Structures are given as structure tokens and as C-alpha cells.
Structure 1
Amino acid sequence: MAHEPIIALDPNWPVMSMAETERRLTAPGGKFEMETVTIGGVATRVWKNAPPSLRYLIEAARGHGERVFTIYEDERVTYEATWRAVTTLAAHLRALGIGPGDRVALAMRNLPEWPVAFFAATAIGAVMVPLNAWWTGAEMAYGLADSGARVLITDDERHHRLEDIYATIPSLEQVLVSRAVAPLTGIAAPLEGVIGTSSHWAALPDQPLPDAVIAPDDDATIFYTSGTTGAPKGALGTHRNMMSNILTGGYSGARSALRRGEMPPEPTPRVTLTVIPLFHVTACSAGMMGVIATGSTMIFMRKWDTVRAMEIIEREKVNVTGGVPTIAWQLIEHPDRGNYDLSSLESIAYGGAPSAPELVRRIHSELGALPGNGWGMTETMATVTHHGAEDYLNRPSSAGPPAPVVDLKIVAEDGVTELPIGEVGELWARGPMIVKGYWNKPEATATTFIDGWVRTGDLARLDEEGFCYIVDRAKDMIIRGGENIYSSEVENVLYAHPAVTDCALIGLPHRTLGEEPVAVVHLAPGARASEAELQAWVRERLAAFKTPVAIRFVPETLPRNANGKILKKDLQSLFADRIPATAS
């Protein structure tokens, strides 16, 4: 299928084909050399030079010494100080009896303590369970109970959501609370009692990590996702899954350089403004792993604020930011942008939400930065395809080509027939970043993970050079500013309201958020309920971002097909006033 450039590119670009670029970069003896290993009984191409484990990565990261690793408000923490906090907390976890395979949960906003907790657990072979910090207490309690977490590391805000629930989690033995503002009781104790505050980490003892033998395919993480039906599912990831993203990201940058006729530069430290939560694989795996490997700096914000972000970009000379398209739109369109020096920005990259081709152009033309995009999911530990620089400007509606260690195929509705180039079907992916399966859910695992492939549920097509185009989202899933909203979860809450007898949640296009959730409701005869009442009902039971932004009431039950499924596309016309003209 043809594509049209949206900016005037150098007429000599590209100077090298995708195939030749891959041949050169993956040549034997090179940084991006590949090899084939057996993972779960399946022969799989992997990055030969990827770090073998998270333990190896954090030990090597100590070599960055006094370089600043994390910045949060007025706190600046070096790699050396972080290392000392990691080893101190790891020793404490070992003293609590935590060892290989034990689950340690983490429920916290982006703070310097987040990576400390993450590596303290994974470096001793424990399985880290990052919980969505936006979840309600009940939602987080599900994750704690389902994972069987023995220890929870949390911040004060999440602690208050959970403190009345701790006793209902049979596996939970200890809770370490960061930045608590009130005395702690029961199984809760201050994290500072173990490692102190971030300003004191540099003075902690210099000690090695507790002994642990960790193989690349050992369990490392459980990140929770949600299917379109049922309870959230924990995607069981490995050390190899996490480490693969380091080479995948590096390869993408090297590919862009060769395509424009330049030698790929050596990795150099960058300053990254990280504005998406670390409990997402995008920020944790695709973002933080590369930051650490290159000795770069991560800046955290307590809450996104465009003016505050521009102040930080100017002061700290930020090179990279993004996360979701919303961030880029708000930077570009803020009326005070001209008052700030944003010239240090080299890249604005995002994933997790649809983006308009116009945004790709404006990132380059107005901010002077190169756009970046990619496709992945929790089940792929983030990056499968990666798009950037001139290739993205030239194919703004694509999610990019797969990494060389990845195989993609487009499969017909029969789940067997592989479709030819250009045809739309379900996207299947295979590679070293695909997780082992779903935690304690063998049936769901067997349905989704087949002979090393993951069935993504997304409809896509591939072009003649392997670039992937996602043409529709997974069924019934809405992505609002990078956050997944699963229709059935919200619909079940609406159905629980005594006045509701029929309902559907659908996604509407939104210029900056990608999509936003709206609902259509049919009330029981004689029953009354207002839009505000039902919105409050949902907000009290689910994270706020899942609440419908608008609700329409219909006098009849909702239209269904012969199989009894609601015809959601037929309902969009009820929200004609909310659909942007460019999306219709």
C-alpha cells in the first residue's frame, strides 16, 4: 500500500535499505549480533549481547558513579547512592526470608524509591509485582492476593487506600511505607527505617548484593493487564524480557543513523523527563532499562503540568520526553511555549495511544525534535516494533518495523491461515520479549500464547518492508492517554447500579488523549438515574480515568447482533457532538 511523505525529506534519503541496514548492524561480532536459543522449548532469536539479568544491569550501573540517576523535585540521587540503597534494601528483604520466586509488590508513584525497590527485589531472584498506582484499594488488593505477594513496598497515599485491607491478604507479611506522614501500625513499617531518605543513601554502607544465581529466563516481574473479560491478568515476565529492550532501543537509533548515511553514535548519557508511570512496561522496560544502560538521568514529576515541564526542560536541558501523545500536544500548543528554551529536546517518543500524523509533523517542525513511536503490550514487555526519525516522518500512520529478533505475522480469523502482505488480520508476535504467560491462569495462557507466539488481539497489516500498521485496537479496549480501559470492567460496575438494565462502554476519538470513554445506558422501567449519579457510581468503584466522560440514555435496550453482542459502532452517532470533525 502506498504512503505519502508528510514533510520534504532529503532526496537522497534513505541511503540504505532496511534489509542492508539489518545485515550490517547484526553482523557477527557486532553490538547487535543475534543468536538462537531455546526458550520454553521454542528456538528463538535473541540479542547475543543483552545483559543476562536485572542483577547484572544494576551491578554494572554502579560504574556510572556520581552521575545523577533520578531527579524528583529538589532531590538528586546518583547511581552510587542508588546502588547503596538497592543493596541495603535487598539485604533487608533477604533477612525477611525473601528469595528466588517470592513475590514483592510495589505500589508507588514515580519516586527515587521506585527503582530502588524494583532492583532490590529482582536482584535477589524475587519476582517484582508493580501495581497500578491509580487503582483503587480494592483493585490493588486483588493484585496483592492474586500474586501472593509476601511484601508490599508502597508510598503513603497508596498505604492509606490499602491499610484496612492488609489483613484480608493471607500471603502479606510486611508492608514498607515510603514518606509516611502518620505513625504506622501492624505489619506496616517505614521504608526510611531500612534505607533512610534519598539524601542519605550515599552514606549507606558499601556492601555487595546478597548471593543469588539468576538465569536469563528466570521469572522477574508480574505486570498486570486486563483482558476484555474477567479479572486482571498478571503477565509473568523474565529477565531476558526486560533486558531485550535495551538492545532493541539501541538498534532503532543505529538504524536511523545508517538510513541517513551516518555512522551510529556510541551510546551517550541523556536527560529524560519521565512523565508516565513506572508501573507500565513502557516506562519501566522500554524506558528505565535503556536509561540505566547508558548512564542517563530520569526526572520524575509529582503531577504533569505543562508549564512546570517546560521549566524543567529548560533548566535541566532535557533531551527526551513523551510517553503518550497527550504530552507532545500540550507542549506544542501551550500559549507560553515561546517563553521557554526547549532547544535541548532531541526526541519526543510515545506509544500506547493512537497519534495523528499531524502530531508527527509538528514535533519536528515546531519543536525541532525527532518523533518516536512503537508498538507493544504488557504481554510483550513493551517494544516489539519501533519507529523513529525520518522513517516515522515518512510513514506517520505506521507503528514501525519489528526489531530483528522479532517475527510478526498477520493471521486470518481461523487462527491458522497466515495472510499476505497488505491484508488485515490479527497481529501475532514472537521474540525474546514475549512473556511466559499469565500468572496462575493456564487456560488464558493456552489461548493467548501458542508455540512462542502471542496473539495480540489487534488488527494490523504489514507492508512490503515489514512496517506494521495497527488498523484497529483490541476488541472492546479503549486507550485514554496511554491508560487501558476495558469495557467489560466498567460495564459490570454500571450493571451493578439498581437502575441500570442495559449498557455499553465505547471509545470516542479524542484529539490529545487518543480516545475517551463514553457510555450508553438503558434504565429499568420506572427507574431514575442521572449522568452525574452514574459517573459518581463508577468513580467510587474504579480508578477515575475509567469513568465515562459522557453518558447517553436510550429508551430501548441496546442493538445486538445475532450472537447477542451489542453493536457498539451503531452507538457512536449518539455522541456526534463529541466526535472531532477530523475523526469523522
Structure 2
Amino acid sequence: DLERIFVSRYDDDLPQTNVERLENILGAVNDWDKLPELAMPGVDIAPDDDCTILYTSGTTGRPKGALGTHRNMLSNIFASAAAAARSFVRRGEVPPQVDPLEAPQRTALLSVPFFHATGCFAVMNPTLFSGGKLVLMRKWDPEIAMQLIEREKVNSAGGVPTIAWQLIEHPARSKYDLSSLEMVSYGGAPSAPELVRKIVESFPKSQPGNGWGMTETSATCTSHVGEDYELRPDSCGPAAPVCDLKIVGFNGETLPPGEVGELWARGPNIVKGYWNKPEATAETFVDGWVKTGDLARLDEEGFCYIIDRAKDMLIRGGENIYCIEVENVLYEHPAVMDAALVGIPHKTLGEEPAAVVHLKPGVHTTEAELRSFVAGKLAAFKVPVKIVFWPETLPRNANGKILKRDLKKIFVDEPNA
């Protein structure tokens, strides 16, 4: 059990006796820069000692505390460096030797929270390790972000796909000098192939980047940048050099390239398990592998393609419908900014697909037009039977993942066929 818990910016009554306010020890948060510089205490820390407890997003169930080690946390530094080097190697070039003490300081805009694996592990750690500068946003706002990019000459930005979309589609984008951007990257949620083309078109000097990971993989497990991403816009990239991926069938067999099954991952980034949840740990972590709950396939070169969350897949009259496939088609429509597909109950078919979309500023379309657009690209059983227009960006949790459980409530009162 934890002996002591420190909380910061906690306004409510403390819940238990071993919880203490950090401000009682260090003073007010905004005064921390005035604290005297002292040497760190001498504490022996081993690579596999417990280090962090980050909670899963809870979009498909109650959040669980993923118990990570120092090795887990630092794996992102090497994954980040390897991804950058791979782009040169794939082009047949030698990666440049950069002296961080001589090179210009690189600047990253951090617009996702530190309690999320992306913000803490995938962005903060590699940036600080390389001597970079972090520009922090307490709350995401696309126009404030563009102001910061211009003022601080930010080189890399992103976080989750919706952040990239909002930068691209914002009506005030032309007012700001965003030419310093060299990388617009994201993870944490599925992204549409259309987003890659938009980034290349909107930020000609910037490379698009994508990756896949989860709290249980301490963020980065795959990465996808540059030309590889442009040529495979529906992939999340190959595994990091020290990670392994495999696709497992319903009977526990390892599937060959091209076949869809559950994605399993292993490597030095896989957390120990779930805090105080031995049954959930035993169910999810098997012989060093984590069962991700994502449906995916691998191609012959090892590039991973996420098909859907296993729990998000719809079954309509015995036919499988992968939400990401339909959402990606909706994203291709020039009027759509944000989209999500959910299942709604049907008395004979079991469930049917329904969509919620948010339109780009100043653009109009109709439900019939969107349904016709999807029907022109996908089989009839995958076409949403109902499309609802949402007046703002779809509801998300703090990690940027769409709250599909909330969206399903929109259709509760809709009559079944």
C-alpha cells in the first residue's frame, strides 16, 4: 500500500489520513520557481523499480492504474530517437550526427496533460532529454496554440488527431506565422488517412507523424513519420526497435500477415500490471505480452494497421462493422471536421450503425448527402442508418478520446425499425 499521497491544486477535503497537500511542503504552485536549489538526495533507484501509476482512459470501462517502472518510462526516449533515425535509413541516408549543445534548441508545444502517457512519456521525456524547450498549455484552444507557435517558434505540435484537425481548419490560421513547424504528430486516438494529406497540404515544411500506444505500453509502441506515413496513411507504423507485435486469433493462435485479430505487444515499455487488481492483470498481461483489446493486422514489412477497438466493433445481423473504417470515410467528406460511429439497438439485427458528426466552420451538408457519400465507398450494411449533427467538437475525455458511451445516449429515444 502507498504510505503517503501528495496532491496539488486539490480544493476538496482530503479523503484519507495518508493524503497531504503538496503546497504544505513546497508552498504555492506559482511560487515553486522561488525555491532554493538543493542537491537531490542520494537514493538507489533500479531500472525496474516502481515509478508511476497512470490511469487508463476508462472509455470502455472503469479506469485502472497502470503500474510502470523507470525502464518503462524512459523507453520513449529511445523509441523517439529510433523513429527519427529510421526515416533517414529508409531513404538510404545516414542519420545526421547532432550535438545538442551546438544545435539550435528545439521547441515542442505540449497541449495534452502530464497525467496522460502521451504528454508525460512521449513528449516531455524525449524533449527534456534532448535539451529541448516545452511550451505548456493549461487548456487546449486552437487560436491560443497558433499564437504560441508563432511567438515561441514551435517546431513540433500535436497530441491527438482532433488537435491537428482544429489547427488545419481554423478560420484564423492564415493570420499567424506557423512556418516554424517541422512536425505535426499525434497518437492516443485513431486518425483518418485524410489527415495526413491535409497536414502535407497545410504545413508544407512539416512532416506528419503518427503512432500507436496505450497506457499499458507507456505510450509509444509504434511510430510512423515522413514518407512512410504519406505512403501508408492508414497505418500507425512498425513497432519500436525493442518492441514486438503479433496478431492473435480467437483461439489463441498467431495469425499471418494480412489477417485481422487482437493486437498483442511486448517490450521494455510494458507496465508491470494494474495497481491492486490482480485478476485484471492476469487477464491482460500474459508471458510478457499485453493483450491490447485492439483489432489489427500487420503487413509483410511489419507495419501495423489498427482496425478497431474490439469493444467498439459493431455486429449488424451477423456482419462485422469496424467503426474506424466508417469514420475514416466520413472524414474524407469536405464538410466533416469530427466524426464517431456508435451502435444503436435493433430488435432483429442486434444493432445498427449511427454516426455523430461536427462540421467545419462555415460549411453545410445534410444527413442524406453524408449517407450517400458513405454508400458510394462502403457496403450498404456499413452505411449509418442515422446521422446526427453536433454543434461543437465531439465530447472527449482529458486524454482526447471520444466518449462514445455519451454519444450513444443521443439515440436512446430513437425508434427501432
Q: How far apart are 1:190 and its partner, in Å?
A: 7.0
Q: Is 1:175–2:21 an aligned residue pair? A: yes
Provide the residue aligned with 2:31 in structure 1.
Answer: 197
Spell out, residue by residue over 1:62-117, the C-alpha distance to the aligned partner (whole angstroms, 9 max, x if none): xxxxxxxxxxxxxxxxxxxxxxxxxxxxxxxxxxxxxxxxxxxxxxxxxxxxxxxx
Worse overlay, 227-236 or 506-515: 506-515
Establish whether residue 404 from structure 1 lines up as the match of residue 235 from structure 2: no
Establish whether residue 282 from structure 1 lines up as the match of residue 114 from structure 2: no
For residues 3 and 153 of structure 2, the distance between their equivalents in structure 1, rounded to whole angstroms, comes to 40
Indicate conservation of the 8 Å contact 2:264/2:290, yes or no.
Answer: yes
| SS of match in other structure, 1:461 | strand
Alpha-carbon spacing, 1:149–1:476, altered in 2? closer, same or farther (3 Å): farther
1-side partners of 2:180 and 2:243: how far apart?
33
Note if 1:154 corresponds to 2:1.
Answer: no
**Match of 1:548, SS?**
helix
- Contact 2:312 2:342 (8 Å CA) reproduced: no
| SS of aligned partner of 1:152 | strand
Over 3 Å counting, the alpha-carbon distance change for 1:246 and 1:208 in structure 2 is same
Mapping of residues 152-551 of structure 1, within 5 Å = 152-155=6-9, 159-160=10-11, 163-164=12-13, 166-167=14-15, 169-172=16-19, 174-177=20-23, 189=24, 191-192=26-27, 197-201=31-35, 204-205=36-37, 207-225=38-56, 231-265=62-96, 266=98, 269-368=105-204, 369-415=206-252, 417-476=253-312, 509=327, 511=331, 512-513=337-338, 515=340, 546=403, 548-549=406-407, 551=410
Cα offsets for 1:310-364 (capped at 9, x unmatched): 1111111100000011111111111221121111000000011121111101111
Q: CA deviation at 1:152?
A: 2.2
SS in 2 for 1:232: coil
- Comparing 264-273 and 392-401, the one that deviates more: 264-273
Q: Could you say if the C-alpha distance between residues 405 and 514 of structure 1 is closer, same or farther in structure 2, counting changes exceeding 3 Å?
A: farther
C-alpha distance in 2, partners of 1:409/1:440? 28
1:552 pairs with 2:411 = yes
> Is the 1:427–1:455 Cα contact (8 Å) retained in structure 2?
yes
1:106-121 → structure 2 map (5 Å cutoff): none
| CA root-mean-square deviation | 3.0
Contact 2:60–2:311 (CA under 8 A) maintained in structure 1: no
Partner of 2:353: none
| CA 1:520–1:220: 2 relative to 1, 3 Å | same
Return closer, same or farther for 1:412/1:519 CA change in 2, 3 Å cut-off.
closer
Distance 1:514 1:281 in 2: 24
| Cα distance in 1 between the residues matched to 2:55 and 2:26 | 24
2:26–2:32 Cα contact (<8 Å) kept? no
Q: TM-score, length-normalised on structure 1?
A: 0.54
How far the C-alpha of 1:154 sits from its partner, in A, is 1.4
- The SS at the match of 2:121 is helix
Distance 1:407 1:176, change over 3 A: same
Structure 1, residues 133-179: CA drift from partner, whole Å, max 9, x if none? xxxxxxxxxxxxxx746222312xxx23xx23x24x2532x1124xx
CA contact (8 A) 1:354 1:514 kept: no
| 1:299–1:229 CA distance, 2 compared to 1 (3 A) | closer
Query: Structure 2 vs 1, CA of residues 263 and 198 (structure 1 numbering), >3 Å: closer, same or farther?
Result: farther
Q: What SS class does the counterpart of residue 470 from structure 1 fall into? A: strand
Specify the SS of the correspondent of 2:411: strand
* Equivalent AA in structure 1 for residue 295 of structure 2: L
Q: Distance in 2 between matches of 1:210 and 1:476?
A: 47
Which deviations, in whole Å up to 9, do the C-alpha atoms of 1:372-394 show, x marking residues without a partner? 00011110001111000110001
Secondary structure of 2:56's counterpart equals: strand
CA distance in 1, matches of 2:2, 2:340: 34
Contact 1:392 1:398 in 2 (8 A): yes
SS at match of 2:279: helix
Native 8 Å contact 2:112 2:159 kept in 1: yes
Are 1:228 and 1:476, in contact at CA under 8 Å, matched by a contact in 2? no
Confirm or deny: 8 A CA contact 1:517 1:548 kept in the other structure.
Answer: no
Question: 238-247 vs 225-234, which deviates more?
Answer: 225-234
Judging changes above 3 Å, is the alpha-carbon distance between structure 1 residues 432 and 443 closer, same or farther for their aligned structure 2 residues? same
The count of corresponding residues between Structure 1 and Structure 2 is 342
Any idea what SS the aligned residue of 1:551 has?
Answer: helix
- Measured in 1, the distance between the counterparts of 2:232 and 2:3 equals 44
Structure 1 gaps of 5+ residues are 1-146, 178-188, 479-505, 523-541, 557-570, 575-584
Residues 1:410 and 1:297: Cα distance change in structure 2 (over 3 Å):
same
CA contact (8 A) 1:245 1:286 kept: yes
Tell me, in whole angstroms, the C-alpha distance in 2 between the residues paired with 1:221 and 1:326: 27
User: Partner of 1:197: helix, strand, or coil?
Assistant: helix
Q: Specify the alignment match of 2:386 in structure 1.
A: none
Structure 2 gaps of 5+ residues are: 315-322, 332-336, 348-396
Structure 1's consecutive aligned runs of 4 or more residues displaced over 3 angstroms after TM superposition are 226-231, 506-522, 542-547, 553-556
The structure number with the bigger radius of gyration is 1
Identity among equivalent positions (%) equals: 55
Counterparts of 1:230 and 1:470, CA distance in 2 = 20
| Alignment deviations for residues 236-270 of structure 1 (CA, whole Å, 9 cap, x no partner) | 10000011110111000011022224331325531
CA distance in 2, matches of 1:443, 1:255: 39
Aligned residue type for 1:210: P
Q: Does the C-alpha gap of structure 1 residues 463 and 229 become closer, same or farther in structure 2, counting only changes over 3 Å?
A: closer
Classify 1:223/1:517 alpha carbon distance in 2 versus 1 (closer, same or farther; 3 Å): farther
1:435–1:552 distance in 2 versus 1, CA, 3 Å: same
Residue deviations 1:424-471 (CA, integer Å, cap 9, x gap): 111111100000111111111111111111111111100010000011
